[in-house]
Structures are given as structure tokens and as C-alpha cells.
Amino acid sequence: MILVTLGTQDKSFKRLLEAIDREIKLGNITDEVVVQAGYTINNYTSDNMEIFDYVDSKTMVELVKKSDVVISHAGAGSILTALENNKKIIVVPRLSKYGEHNNDHQIEIATEFSKEGYVIYLKNLADLGKELKNISKFKPKKLGHNEEVLKTIDSFIDNVKIKPKRSLLPLIFIVLWMIIIFWLSSMDSGESNDKSMYAIDILINETLKITNKTGITNKHPSEENKKLFIAKINRPMRKLAHASVFFVLAILIMIFLHHYRIKISSSIVITLLISFMYALFDEYHQTFVIGRTGQFTDALIDSFGAILGIILVSIIIYHHTHKRKKQKKVIFISSIGGHLTQLLQLESLFTSYRYLLITEKSSVTKDLKKKYKTKYYLYCNKKNFLKYFIVNILNAFHSLYTFFTFDPDVIVTTGANTAVPLCYLGRIFGKKVIFIESYAKSRGKTLAGKLCYPIATTFIVQWESMLEYYPDAQYYGSIY
């Protein structure tokens, strides 16, 4: 079977299909021919070939695997899909002079892939029959992943320092909690004692309701026995309550210091010192309250409660920080077509992070959601400029919503315009942006590249020749 693929461009490429039809009629092609025609299906029909417009990526891969030879336009995505499945491929660039594309960048792609020994570059369609006869002699170079590039991109992501969100809210809670402690200590001994006994009485009643209902207990103590029991445990419960409020105070202080990136060791010392000093102040304050006294041992008990709070938060911070290396939130975003094919070469990095894959919704990409955590943007080709403009505005608002709901630490993109608003949002809010210029460009700049080059924290090109256009870019070879 010969598979012909014309990609997702919004322009006709019937010139190639006419050439294939001629070869079938001349008897030079006897195999079954299946055509993914895309937009070209609107103005070309044939009784000699099975023609459809688009299929999802999974079905397309299955067709590629089933084929013996692939004939393709010079779109990077189509070429790479064939090479990934070890297929021999004949490449025919779309040409702007025939209205098949906006420019002649596909000539660059075909030239570079041919030079590297990956494809047969068919410059003249009249030679199609000859190339098909000789294709058995062609041994394409194996396509592989550039592990160095993947590791480099991974290190760029992994070395991003995640800034904790700074907020004064924990400080407000600290002050409020200190006021509550001060207020509790301002009660005279009689009022304080009555309130603590009342609280214990409620605690006992509620506990008995639960245990009696579940069958754990079956007791209804008399009021006199309950009062005797409360009087017996009142003092240790008051000490425990005091330790508990300082337990909470220490937690609030630790959270506040962590938000402001204070080292854990320093946070422990600062929290313990503040808690102990406030416990001493609280005991001193009680010496001015009727019927109450200040005791150093009570300050030690309060400090013990604070120590427990410090230990709890320290354990949580340790585990949170320990897991953070693989918990960075990364958005991988691109348009459909060759941009998406290139982005999916980074698939091995996805599982290292909490990731979200964003691309445009179409019949080609509908199957991605089964394999990846995917969000879709609206898709529209450039044929209708007004509709294209409106869709891009809507996608920009979608980017705004996605950015604040997912809150990424890093944005990785291979273009094109779909990714630009998200990249700018990321930089405005201090996030890292890794832009990988399209493999399809070995000369000149893409529009997305022009827009993102000034703001990207890391800008990667896949051809050394592209350093001429992006002097501050980084080159590690292609991702293939």
C-alpha cells in the first residue's frame, strides 16, 4: 500500500494527486493508494485512489505502519511520523507559486531531510514513476531522539526555582492568635476556671453521645460524679489547652517564615524563640490578673506545645520540598501539525512533572486525551482572516483562564501562534518560558519565534544556521 499524506494546511495540493493519478493510469503504480488529502478533498476526486480528509493521530500512525511507501508534502510532522515508523518516504514540497503554501519553507525542509539521508526529495513530479521503481534501493537513515537535547531541556525545567507565594495572611493569623491568647489570659481565675470546666463538660457529653451511639460505651454518669471527674482533670486539661494554643501559634509562625523563604533551620530557631518569649510574656501578663499567677513551668509547657507544632510543620515542609523536584507544574503547548509532532518528541519528560498538554482541537488531535492530560484550544485556519482573528482572541482568554487555574512553573512550546499569549502571560508573572524554534525553519524566523524571542528565558534552535537570526539562542542539535 502507498500512503499519500497532504497534512493539515488550508490550501489545495492537487498537483501531487494529479501526478499520482497519471502514474496509476500509466501502470507505474499498481499498489493500493490511500490518500489523506485534508483541504484538497474539496477540489479533487479520483476513482483510482481512496481519499479522505482527516483522521486522528492514532489512526494516521496505524495507516503509516500498514503502508509500504509514504508520499508526502514536505511538512515536518508528516515526514517525522513516517520516519518514526521506519518507512521509506518520497517528499514533494508545496510551492507558493502554485498557491499551495504561503511561502517556500517546505523546500528548506525537504532539502535538509534529503541532505541528512532521511528522505527522497522529489523536485520534479515527472520523475515520480522512476523514483518509485528505484525506491527499493533507498535505505533511509534511522531517526532517533537526541538524548542530549532532551536532557538539556529537562535540566532547564528541573533547575527552575519555584518561588513560594508570599502572603501577609499568615502574619495576620499570627497577630489574631496572639490577641486570642492575650484575651484568654486576661480572664480572672474564677471566670477562666468556669469556662474551662464548662468546655470539659461539653466535651464529655459529646464524646459519650458518640460512644454510646456506636456501642463502644453504655454509660450515663450522674451529674455529681461528672462534676467530681471534671474537677479532677480540670488542671491538667487547662495545661494541655495552654500547650495547644502555642502549638497552633508555632504552626502559624513556621508557615509565615516558609512563605518568605527562610531556611528551615533558621525558621525553627526563630519560631521557638518567639513562642518561648510570648509564653513568658503571657505568664507575666497573668500576674496582673485577679486570682492568677505566672509560673515559669507553665511557660515551659507552652513551649513544649510549640515544639510539637514546629516538628509537625518541619516534617511537612521536608516531604513537600523532597517531592518538589518532580512536582513542578509544566505546560507543553503547540499548534497542530508539525509543531505538535515536534512537541510530542518531549513525551519522555511529561511524567517527570505535573504537566498539561495544550493543542488545538480537531479530528487529528481528538485521540490525544486518551494518552495525555490534554486541554484543547479552538482551531481555525487562516483562510478566513476575521474568523481566525476572533478565534485567536478567544484562545488568548482561554490562555488567561488556563494560566491562573493550572498555575505553571514552566511553559514549553514549539510554536506557533497558539502559544504566544500563554508565553507572554508566563513572563509577566515571572514564570520560565522555553521556546523551541520549529525544525521546519533552517533559514529565517517564524512569526511565533519573532514574538517570543525577546521574552523567552530559554530559546532553542534546531539548526546551527538559525543562530544567525537568533544570536542569543542555544543550539544543541535537533530534537531528533
pLDDT tens-digit series, residues 352-367: 889 999 999 887 788 8
Q: Which helix (H) or strand (E) holds 411?
A: strand 410-413
Q: Looking at the predicted structure, is the pLDDT value of residue 40 above 90?
A: yes
Q: Looking at the predicted structure, is the pLDDT value of residue 222 above 90?
A: no
- Residue 321: pLDDT band (50, 70, 90) is low
Q: Looking at the predicted structure, is the pLDDT value of residue 317 above 90?
A: no
Helices (H), 260-382: 264-286, 296-324, 338-343, 347-350
Structural domains in the chain?
Answer: 2-143 (3.40.50.2000), 150-160+328-475 (3.40.50.2000), 169-324 (no CATH)
- Mean of all residue pLDDT scores within the chain: 86
pLDDT tens-digit series, residues 459-476: 999 888 899 999 999 998
Q: Looking at the predicted structure, is the pLDDT value of residue 282 above 80?
A: yes
Residues 6+ apart with CB under 8 A from 205: none
- Residue 328: pLDDT band (50, 70, 90) is confident
CA distance 178 to 285: 13
Q: Looking at the predicted structure, is the pLDDT value of residue 326 above 70?
A: no
Q: Looking at the predicted structure, is the pLDDT value of residue 384 above 80?
A: no
Q: How many residues does the chain have?
A: 480
Q: Looking at the predicted structure, is the pLDDT value of residue 373 above 60?
A: yes
pTM: 0.59
- Ranked by mean pLDDT, which of 90-104, 325-339, 388-402 comes out on top? 90-104
- Residue 163: pLDDT band (50, 70, 90) is low
pLDDT tens-digit series, residues 176-185: 999 999 998 8
- Mean pLDDT along residues 167-172: 78
Q: Looking at the predicted structure, is the pLDDT value of residue 324 above 80?
A: no
End-to-end CA distance of the chain: 27
pLDDT of residue 439: 81
Residues 6+ apart with CB under 8 A from 310: 250, 254, 268, 271, 272
CA distance 367 to 310: 48
Higher pLDDT, 423 or 386: 423
CA distance 118 to 407: 40
Nearest to 334 by CA among 376, 367, 373: 376
